[in-house]
Amino acid sequence: LTAAAAAVIRAARASDAAAIARLWRALLTEHARRDPAFAVGDGVGEAVARAVSRALGDADSALWVGARGDQPVAFCCARVERPAAMLAERGRVEITELYVEPGARRAGVGRSLADAAFAWARERGIARVEVRVAAENGAGQAFWRSVGFGPFVDVLQRRL
């Protein structure tokens, strides 16, 4: 069995909440190294737990895990965004979080989770998916391009 074959992608359940919160905090810790704007706040534990339960309970959000045995080693969160009324597009999906534990990377788990989000979007008649990725995140930049994303909007920042 390859590592990829051993990770099962499935919709998250309420019983996954603690494991997803642990992965989400690991994601935040990894991003915090990249830019001061990503520094993690004091109330991170409670805030992440709230975000997980909100995503689990919201019809416009979806959460998936990549699990080895019972243990989630990856998760993905997506939500439907509805644009301003002046645009013709009725909705898009934003993949807001994607994290694969270091020991489970480069085995196709990230790609399979992204595919789950694409299928979820298509089921809703949505034809476009967005993701924000830090310019500094070389692995993330390469990953999103490998699953079909291209440049769209640059988010610039200026420190004062």
Q: Let me know: does 62 contact 38? Beta carbons within 8 Å.
A: no
Q: CB-wise, 34 or 90, nearer to ligand COA? A: 34
Residues in the site for ligand COA, rule: CB under 6 A?
27, 30, 98-100, 105-111, 133, 137, 139-140, 142-143, 146
* Cβ at position 111, least distance to ligand COA in Å: 3
CB of 102 to ligand COA, least distance (A): 8
Q: Which is nearer to ligand COA, 64 or 99 (CB)?
A: 99
Q: How far is the CB of 4 from ligand COA (least distance, A)?
A: 7
CB of 108 to ligand COA, least distance (A): 5
**Alpha carbon distance 92, 94 (integer Å):** 7
Query: Of 77 and 80, which has the nearer Cβ to ligand COA?
Result: 77
Residue sitting closest to ligand COA (CB):
110
Between 127 and 142, name the residue whose CB sits nearer to ligand COA.
Answer: 142
Q: How far is the CB of 6 from ligand COA (least distance, A)?
A: 13
Instruction: Identify residue 31 by its one-letter amino acid code.
Output: H
